[in-house]
């Protein structure tokens, strides 16, 4: 309990302290038994990082120790770049999704989102892509900005606002009484002109990227996954062009062909979920560096928490299908980033996704790359984070033991630094 009290105190201080940038640059040397260079795959032993202000100055087995430096010895731990989760929902929590978006006010959901952001950061996730507020409009822009200003603790965020859907699409309150005119959990657009207009509105409200629901709902039929596509390839291409006009990219929720292939040919940045990709789609993704973002942790949670045996069976069938397809995607060299879809399951528990990537066929090193370096690339932050290198933000986490030997240790992060500020250091936990 003492650890938790100290943690809460530290959080309270972090919440009330002025923005880190306003403080004089402090110098810190982090020392631990190991440090993983995710680019080369080499494990340095010991590992040290010299931090000045919000950036990394040097990395090695023995860095310079300036006289003013505070040295933090983390003992038998491995230093890693802060984790990157490319698919989160800060505005969702466990429980019926439609009910929470219907019953809870946007102010209430925003307060919950700030708590979710804190939980994710303390679990080691120092950068995240929020894949839609699901009916809370552009509130994610305010959460992102509050974190950047140092008002509240949380990961660096890329946000898309409300995401985009079609009439009668995946997020359009399906199954509700039509006479109640329940609002969809994403902004509808039913033509190229509407799509462009909605993108412009979301950019105006602070979106860093655009999220489009491209398939849904999913069902298994004769051992194959089926999901209707939502936008035509032409519409998606127009969306990609409009987003690019202001330097932004498009991400799609897309589970099955032909929707996944249409999105890839239109030039999206990532295909999220990606349960089913044709050989041609996989080849294009490899050639163009388009990421698949498998989301295993959320499916596992849905299976474990299904309300009926039939629902559990339905999720299990999709999971088994997804795992088989994922192995094909790995063999085909499809770029993969880590994305957990956390929100429907508890924030702060999503390091489980690393473990599942390894269980389903990735090497521990590649899984760690997917959740650091490659995630940074997808979030357009590859120069600033995702590896421990001079010039990068000092986003550093530590785990007990060696994650290349046992990936599960990533679920036991006990040191978190973001931008040179220490948010967690409780090795006794
Ligand atoms: Zn999602």
Domain count, the chain: 2
Where would I find the H helices in 74-122?
97-103, 106-122
CB distance 69 to 50 below 8 Å: yes
Q: Are residues 295 and 230 in the same domain?
A: yes
Residues 6+ apart with CB under 8 A from 258: 229
Q: Are residues 198 and 214 in the same domain?
A: yes
Instruction: Residue 361: give its domain's CATH number.
Output: 3.20.20.140
Q: Are residues 356 and 411 in the same domain?
A: no
Q: CA 10 to CA 425: how far, in whole Å?
A: 10
CB atoms near residue 392 (< 10 Å): 23
Query: Which pTM was predicted?
Result: 0.94
Q: Are residues 120 and 160 in the same domain?
A: yes
Q: CA 339 to CA 342: how far, in whole Å?
A: 8
Q: Are residues 88 and 62 in the same domain?
A: no
Please give the distance, rounded to the nearest whole angstrom, from the Cα atom of residue 42 to the centre of ligand 1: 33
Extract the residue ranges of the chain whose pLDDT is less than 50: 1-9, 12-22
Q: Are residues 274 and 370 in the same domain?
A: yes
Please give the distance, rounded to the nearest whole angstrom, from the Cα atom of residue 197 to the centre of ligand 1: 23
CB distance 359 to 331 below 8 Å: no
Quick one: pLDDT at residue 287? 98
CA-to-CA separations, 25 to 53, 54, 260, 420, in angstroms, rounded: 4, 8, 46, 9
Domain limits at 28? 2-82+386-425
Please give the distance, rounded to the nearest whole angstrom, from the Cα atom of residue 212 to the centre of ligand 1: 11
Please give the distance, rounded to the nearest whole angstrom, from the Cα atom of residue 120 to the centre of ligand 1: 16
Instruction: Residue 27: give its domain's CATH number.
Output: 2.30.40.10
Please give the distance, rounded to the nearest whole angstrom, from the Cα atom of residue 284 to the centre of ligand 1: 23
CB distance 386 to 372 below 8 Å: yes
CB distance 153 to 120 below 8 Å: no
Please give the distance, rounded to the nearest whole angstrom, from the Cα atom of residue 88 to the centre of ligand 1: 6
Q: Are residues 261 and 404 in the same domain?
A: no
Q: Are residues 179 and 51 in the same domain?
A: no
Quick one: pLDDT at residue 98? 80
Q: Are residues 160 and 237 in the same domain?
A: yes
Nearest to 121 by CA among 150, 84, 91, 148: 84
Quick one: pLDDT at residue 97? 81
CB atoms near residue 204 (< 10 Å): 10
Please give the distance, rounded to the nearest whole angstrom, from the Cα atom of residue 127 to the centre of ligand 1: 16
Q: Tell me: the pLDDT tens digits for 80-113?
A: 999 999 999 999 999 888 889 889 999 999 999 9
Please give the distance, rounded to the nearest whole angstrom, from the Cα atom of residue 272 to the centre of ligand 1: 8
Please give the distance, rounded to the nearest whole angstrom, from the Cα atom of residue 133 to the centre of ligand 1: 10
Please give the distance, rounded to the nearest whole angstrom, from the Cα atom of residue 87 to the centre of ligand 1: 6
Please give the distance, rounded to the nearest whole angstrom, from the Cα atom of residue 113 to the centre of ligand 1: 15
Please give the distance, rounded to the nearest whole angstrom, from the Cα atom of residue 89 to the centre of ligand 1: 6
Q: Are residues 59 and 105 in the same domain?
A: no
Q: Are residues 221 and 299 in the same domain?
A: yes
Please give the distance, rounded to the nearest whole angstrom, from the Cα atom of residue 240 to the centre of ligand 1: 20
Q: Are residues 289 and 394 in the same domain?
A: no
CB distance 400 to 412 below 8 Å: yes
């Amino acid at each position: 309990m003492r650890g938790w009290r100290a943690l809460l105190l530290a959080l309270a201080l972090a919440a009330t302290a002025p923005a880190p940038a306003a403080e004089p640059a402090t110098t810190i040397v982090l020392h631990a038994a190991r440090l993983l260079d995710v680019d080369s795959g080499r494990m340095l032993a010991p590992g040290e990082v010299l931090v000045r202000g919000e950036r990394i100055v040097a990395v090695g087995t023995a860095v310079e120790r300036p006289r003013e430096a505070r040295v933090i010895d983390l003992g038998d731990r491995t230093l890693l770049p802060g984790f990157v989760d490319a698919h989160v929902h800060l505005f969702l929590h466990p429980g019926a999704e439609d009910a929470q978006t219907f019953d809870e006010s946007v102010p209430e959901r925003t307060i919950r989102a700030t708590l979710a952001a804190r939980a994710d950061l303390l679990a080691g996730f120092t950068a995240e892509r929020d894949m839609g507020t699901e009916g809370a409009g552009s509130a994610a822009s305010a959460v992102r900005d509050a974190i950047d200003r140092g008002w509240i603790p949380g990961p660096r965020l890329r946000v898309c606002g409300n995401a985009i859907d079609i009439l009668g699409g995946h997020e359009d309150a399906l199954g509700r009484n039509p006479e109640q005119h329940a609002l969809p959990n994403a902004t509808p657009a039913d033509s190229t002109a509407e799509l462009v207009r909605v993108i412009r509105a979301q950019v105006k409200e602070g979106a860093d990227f655009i999220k489009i629901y491209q398939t849904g709902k999913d069902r298994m039929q004769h051992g194959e996954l089926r999901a209707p596509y939502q936008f035509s390839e032409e519409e998606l291409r127009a969306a990609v062009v409009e987003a690019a006009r202001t330097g932004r990219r498009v991400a799609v929720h897309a589970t099955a062909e032909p929707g996944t292939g249409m999105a890839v040919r239109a030039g999206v940045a990532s295909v999220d979920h990606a349960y089913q990709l044709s050989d041609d789609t996989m080849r294009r993704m490899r050639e163009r560096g388009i990421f698949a973002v498998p989301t295993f942790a959320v499916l596992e949670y849905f299976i474990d928490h299904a309300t009926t045996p039939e629902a559990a069976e339905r999720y299990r069938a999709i999971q088994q299908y997804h795992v088989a397809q994922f192995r094909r995607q790995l063999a085909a060299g499809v770029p993969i980033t880590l994305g957990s879809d956390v929100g429907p399951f508890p924030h702060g528990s999503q390091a489980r996704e690393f473990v599942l990537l390894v269980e389903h066929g990735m090497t521990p090193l590649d899984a760690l790359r997917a959740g650091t370096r490659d995630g940074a690339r997808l979030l357009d932050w590859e120069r600033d984070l995702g590896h421990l290198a001079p010039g990068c933000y000092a986003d550093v986490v530590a785990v007990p033991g060696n994650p290349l030997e046992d990936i599960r240790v990533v679920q036991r992060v006990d040191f978190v630094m973001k931008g040179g500020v220490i948010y967690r250091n409780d090795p006794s936990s």
